[in-house]
Amino acid sequence: MNPRILLLLLGLIGVSLGRGAAESRPNILLLFADNWLYDHAGANGDPLVKTPTFDRMAKEGARFTHVFCPVPSCGPTRSSFVTGRAAHQLEEVANHGGRFPGKFRVFVDALATSGYHTGYMGKGWAPGIYEGFGRTISPAGKLYKDFRTFLTAREPGQPFFFWYGSTHTALRFWKPGLGRSRGIDPAKVRVPGYLPDAPEVREEIADYLACVEQMDEEFGAALALLEKNGELANTVVIHTGDNGWQMPRGLGSVHDAGLHVPLAVRWPGHIAAGRVIEDFVSVTDYAPTILEFAGLRPWPEMTARSFHDLLLGKPSGVVRDHVFVERERHANVRRGDQSYPVRGVRTRDFLYLRNLRPNRWPGGDPIVYLAVGDYGDVDPSRTKQYILDHRKEPGMQKFFALSFRKQPAEELYDVRRDPEQLNNVAGDPAYGEALKQLRARVDGWMKETADPRLDPKFDDFDKYPYYGGGVAPELRAWEAEKP
C-alpha cells in the first residue's frame, strides 16, 4: 500500500504513527520461553547449559542483566505484557487463569491494524479465556501451526510480528534422566541456596537444564528459517522468558527466582553488538518498545516505559533503577478462592515486599483446595515433594519455611549481601531508612496507578472466576507432538 494512504487510514481509525516511516518498519520476532530463569543461559554465566541461540543474540545484539517480570505468574505477566499496564489495573487478568476483558487495548491488535501480519504459535496469552468476553481472537493474535505457515500466509513485502511461545522449559517436560541423556552431569549443577542440595534435586535441575537446551534449539530453527529467507537482518529478535522457573520459591513467589528473566535483543546495524545493559526493565515495558519499533506511539494508559531509545543507544531521559512487582491469585489454592496479594519494588540494592494478607498461606493451603495439590501455589516438582517429605528433619526446616510457611507483613532483602534473598532484614534497625524509602516508593506507585488495594479492605480479586485450564486446544495438540 502507498505509505501516504496508509498514514491517512491509520489516522482515521485512531492508530498513531510515531518515529519510523510506514514503509521501513522492521519485522519483529518474539521468542518467548515459559518459566525460564535468568540464571540458566550460557551468556548469563551458566557453565553447564548450552544455549547457542541465546548466546548468539547476546553477542550480536544487546543482553540485559536486570529484567524482571511484573508478576511471578505467566497469565498476569502476559496480560501486562500485551497491554503495557500494571496487572492490578487489569481486573480479572491480574489473576492467573482469568477472563481477558475486551475493553483493554492490546499492542498486537495495533500492529495488525497498522499493516503488520501478526500471529503466534505455541503458548501465547495463557492461561485463561478471552472468547465471549469482548474478544474473538487471542490477545497474542491468530494461532498458526508453525512459523513457516505464518510466513507463507502474509502478503508480499508485508512486515510481520510473530510470537513464538515455547513451553519446552515447563515443568511437565522435565523428564527424569533427560539431563543425563544430554550430557548434563547432576553433580556439576549449581543448587541455589533456597533449595536443598540433595541428589534428587540435582537430578531435577539437570533435567530442567536439558529442557532449556531444547527450547534454545527450537528458537534456533526459527532464526535459521529467517536467515535462509534473507530476512533475519531486517528482523528485531527479542529472546526472553515470562517468569522464573517452577521450583519452590520460583514461579508464584515474588522473589528473584520467580521474577528474574533473560533478555537479549538483536537488530544488526541498529542495536550495537555485544552490549550489556544493566538498566532495570520490566516485561511490561516490552509493549511500548515493540510499538515504537513498528513506528507507532504507545498509548496514554500504558504504565510501562519504552526502552526503544536505550536499545538504539539514544538518550531517553528515563531513569531505570527499579521495577515494581506484584501478585494476586496464582492458582486457586486457598479456601474462599482467596488471593495472596503482594506489592513490592526491586532496586539494585534491595527487594522490598508488602504481603497484604499475611494471615494466608503464601504457597497455598496446606491441604489441597481446588487446584494443583497441597501448597498448590508451588508446582508439583520432585524437589517440592522432597522438601515436603523431609520437612521435619532439622536441616530441611529452613527450606520448608522459605516456600511454605506464612510470612510477615513486610519482607526486605539486601541483595548486595544476600542475592538469593534468604534473610529477611525488615526488622533490623540498621535498615530502617531503606525500609522507609522503599515503603514510600510502593505507596507512590500504588497511588499513581490507582491500585484498588489502596483500600485495605479490598478483596475483589478473590471473587473473579478461575479458568486455570483455559488453554487453546490447538496448543495442547501442539505440545502433544513434542518428543
Helix, strand, coil % in the chain, rounded to nearest 5: 35, 15, 50
Question: What is the rounded distance in angstroms from the CA atom of residue 327 to the CA atom of residue 340?
Answer: 7
Residue 78 lies in a domain: yes
Sheet of 342-347: strand order equals: 322-327, 342-347, 350-355, 410-414
Q: Which of 232, 256, 235, 236 is nearest to 244 (CA)?
A: 256
**Which residue among 321, 354, 375 closes a domain?**
321
Residues 172 and 217 in one domain: yes
Task: Give the distance from CA 38 to its chain's centroid.
Answer: 11
Q: Would you write out the chain's pLDDT as a tens digit for each of its 483 residues?
A: 443 344 334 443 444 554 444 447 999 999 999 999 999 999 999 999 999 999 999 999 999 999 999 999 999 999 999 999 999 999 999 999 999 999 999 999 999 999 999 999 999 999 999 998 899 999 999 999 999 999 999 999 999 999 999 999 999 999 999 999 999 999 999 999 999 999 999 999 999 999 999 999 999 999 999 999 999 999 999 999 999 999 999 999 999 999 999 999 999 999 999 999 999 999 999 999 999 999 999 999 999 999 999 999 998 889 999 999 999 999 999 999 999 999 999 999 999 999 999 999 999 999 999 888 999 999 999 999 999 999 999 999 999 999 999 999 999 999 999 999 999 999 999 999 999 999 999 999 999 999 999 999 999 999 999 997 544 444 444 445 554
Residue 381 lies in a domain: yes
Residues 291 and 329 in one domain: no
Neighbours of 448 (CB within 10 A): 11
Residue 2 lies in a domain: no
Residues 139 and 268 in one domain: yes
Question: What is the rounded distance in angstroms from the CA atom of residue 46 to the CA atom of residue 51?
Answer: 10
Residue 342 lies in a domain: yes
CB proximity list for 448: less than 8 A, separation 6 or greater? none
**What is residue 112's three-state secondary structure?**
helix
Give the bridge partners for 135, in sequence order. 131
| Torsion 311-138-147-251 (CA) sign | positive
The burial class, CB within 10 Å (0-12 / 13-18 / 19+), for 483 is: exposed
Residues 162 and 296 in one domain: yes
Helix 199-228 with 382-389: angle, nearest 10 deg = 170
Residues 243 and 349 in one domain: no
Q: Which of 351, 358, 356, 355 is nearest to 412 (CA)?
A: 351
What does DSSP assign to residue 260?
B
Q: What residue ranges in 338-434 does DSSP mark as E strands? A: 342-347, 350-355, 410-414
Residue 101 lies in a domain: yes
Residue 471 lies in a domain: no
Question: What is the rounded distance in angstroms from the CA atom of residue 434 to the CA atom of residue 427?
Answer: 12
pLDDT the model gives residue 468: 78
Residue 476 lies in a domain: no
Residues 131 and 163 in one domain: yes
Residues 317 and 330 in one domain: no
Residues 440 and 347 in one domain: yes
| Torsion 268-279-451-327 (CA) sign | positive
Residues 283 and 358 in one domain: no
pLDDT the model gives residue 4: 37
Residue written as cell 494476586? 328
CB proximity list for 481: less than 8 A, separation 6 or greater? none
Residue 3 lies in a domain: no
Question: What is the rounded distance in angstroms from the CA atom of residue 231 to the CA atom of residue 458?
Answer: 50
pLDDT the model gives residue 478: 43
pLDDT the model gives residue 480: 53
Number of domains in the chain: 2
**What is residue 13's three-state secondary structure?**
helix
Residues 345 and 405 in one domain: yes
Question: What is the rounded distance in angstroms from the CA atom of residue 474 to the CA atom of residue 143?
Answer: 8
Q: Which contiguous run of DSSP H or E holds residue 480?
A: helix 473-480
**Which residue among 321, 343, 365 closes a domain?**
321
The set of cell numbers assigned to 223 is 532464526
**In Å, what is the CA distance from 364 to each residue of 270, 397, 461?**
46, 18, 16
Residues 37 and 137 in one domain: yes
Residue 170 sits in a domain whose CATH number is 3.40.720.10
**Which residue among 278, 300, 321 closes a domain?**
321
What is the residue range of 350's domain?
325-463
CB 427 within 8 A of CB 453: no
> How large is the C-alpha radius of gyration of the chain?
22
CB 298 within 8 A of CB 288: yes
The set of cell numbers assigned to 79 is 496480560
Residues 450 and 315 in one domain: no
pLDDT the model gives residue 7: 38
